[in-house]
Structure 1
């Protein structure tokens, strides 16, 4: 028997006053109960219980040890219950990584909704283009956009899909005739988006009638952030790629216009990535549920509106 089991048996002996009563209570034997107490006495090198044929007598050291044992085991039970409850009730700090554009347009709203439902959780949201090391950075969840994820020991759940579309400002298209084919883009200022999942100098486009790859040429503007790209496009600097979730409000309001509206990029998956499939804290599972219901639904609605 291990130390904690021996302590538990010892507490019962003190409280019930009989090896036999404890053995019956635990469905064990008197010998096992006696060995548990003796093991503690040998470990402590002190007598806890004076035995006689008629009664047990707890020594002063045994009484002090009993009080300590009851507190230790009570604390342990409380810790176990608290840890088990973590699988049921979200609480504590949730550390989340997300790519910036997705965070600004969709994920921050999901975080606020999640906090309203689970106010005992504090959310620490970190924005970065690159996938972090969840263990080294002590992160609970990473939200990424990618065609596929690299092999790793992490677990992922797909939240939704995203596409980029070609957009420009109405002012730019007033100065430059809108392209009718991908080849016509050669006559335009093409603004280059270079992120982890988008090759800066190559636009891979697809449509119902066929695919096209366009390589922008000549001096232009390049940026690695979707929102900075949106600023440049709205300012009339040229034609650029924007994720549907980033462009949709400007397209609805008329601040931006689709260019080659039958084309869009290949779909990218939006993933929630975390470290383990077993014993997942409730704050993580409930947050992923919120991502699916809020972010996933918004991604689906945007795709249905933009990708005919």
Structure 2
């Protein structure tokens, strides 16, 4: 027996005063209505209705049960309408974490468009280059770069690609010369970027045709923040390798100059990640879709 359907049938029988009218209203065979009421009474071990050939009346137990059924059915309808409404108009607090540079230069400038679409969402955007624990810190989703997920508790959706450029300030190149091959970086001052979690500097990768070079740099300065890293390059502290979207404005105004341009840097896949044991709510879903669309239309982020 479908208990929920049986409650609906019982309420209809009480309100219409008969099995025939209830069956008509619910578009069910009369035999189905009769069977459901009998099954309901059997499961409850209570007589809910008094039946005669001409009339159906509710018992005292049936009257009490009728009131409870009305409340239950009303609560279910309210829950369904709330979900439908929330799906159409997502609302509430949404906590997201993103790398500082990506948040400041790509996401935040586009947020007016997001809030125009979803004005009832209250966004809490954590901006840092440290990897957060989504489960422990109660973060709904995060934007991360990487080829593999270190945390098996997370689900990832690829939404874009971060491309890199190697460059240096005119002052640095004037003093130290311009390298023509990645191997020459060993004799240059380079600025390292390291993980705030493990403290290990990231290697640099270069490809030209079938030739691939991985460079592990020994640097006189290492940084873990993308803006501090960019500032080090602008200050002439050494050669830097950073995301295109951060470096392009400085390349365009001449404060940084691209080098090793005949070599390509290995792009980094960008994912939105969220806990696998957490229901993907409407507000998270629309944010993920919006981010995917934003990156797909960004000249330096699209796959």
Q: TM-score under structure 1 normalisation?
A: 0.79
User: Residue 166 of structure 2 contacts residue 242 of structure 2 at CA under 8 Å; is this kept in 1?
Assistant: yes
- 1:10-21 equivalent positions in 2, closer than 5 A: 10-21=10-21
Which of the numbers 278, 302, 307 marks the counterpart of 2:300?
302
Q: Does 1:27 align with 2:29?
A: yes
Cα separation, 1, equivalents of 2:20 and 2:95: 52
Displacement, 1:132?
A: 5.0
Partner of 2:234: 234
Q: Structure 1: which 5+ residue stretches go unaligned?
A: none
Partner of 2:97: 97
User: Residue 205 of structure 1 contacts residue 212 of structure 1 at CA under 8 Å; is this kept in 2?
Assistant: yes
Cα separation, 1, equivalents of 2:91 and 2:202: 45
Displacement, 1:220?
A: 0.5
- 1:36-51 equivalent positions in 2, closer than 5 A: 36=39, 38-39=41-42, 42=45, 48-51=48-51
User: Residue 115 of structure 1 contacts residue 122 of structure 1 at CA under 8 Å; is this kept in 2?
Assistant: no
Cα gap change, 1:158 to 1:198, in 2 (>3 Å): farther
User: Residue 86 of structure 1 contacts residue 281 of structure 1 at CA under 8 Å; is this kept in 2?
Assistant: no
User: Residue 163 of structure 2 contacts residue 300 of structure 2 at CA under 8 Å; is this kept in 1?
Assistant: no
User: Residue 107 of structure 1 contacts residue 295 of structure 1 at CA under 8 Å; is this kept in 2?
Assistant: no
Partner of 2:206: 205
Partner of 2:141: 141
Cα separation, 2, equivalents of 1:297 and 1:197: 33
User: Residue 95 of structure 1 contacts residue 124 of structure 1 at CA under 8 Å; is this kept in 2?
Assistant: yes
> Deviations for 1:164-209, whole angstroms, at most 9, x for unmatched residues?
2222222323333233333433343211111379962632222348
Cα gap change, 1:155 to 1:57, in 2 (>3 Å): same
Q: TM-score under structure 2 normalisation?
A: 0.81
SS of equivalent to 2:241: strand
- Give the aligned length: 298
User: Residue 89 of structure 2 contacts residue 120 of structure 2 at CA under 8 Å; is this kept in 1?
Assistant: no
Q: Structure 2: which 5+ residue stretches go unaligned?
A: none
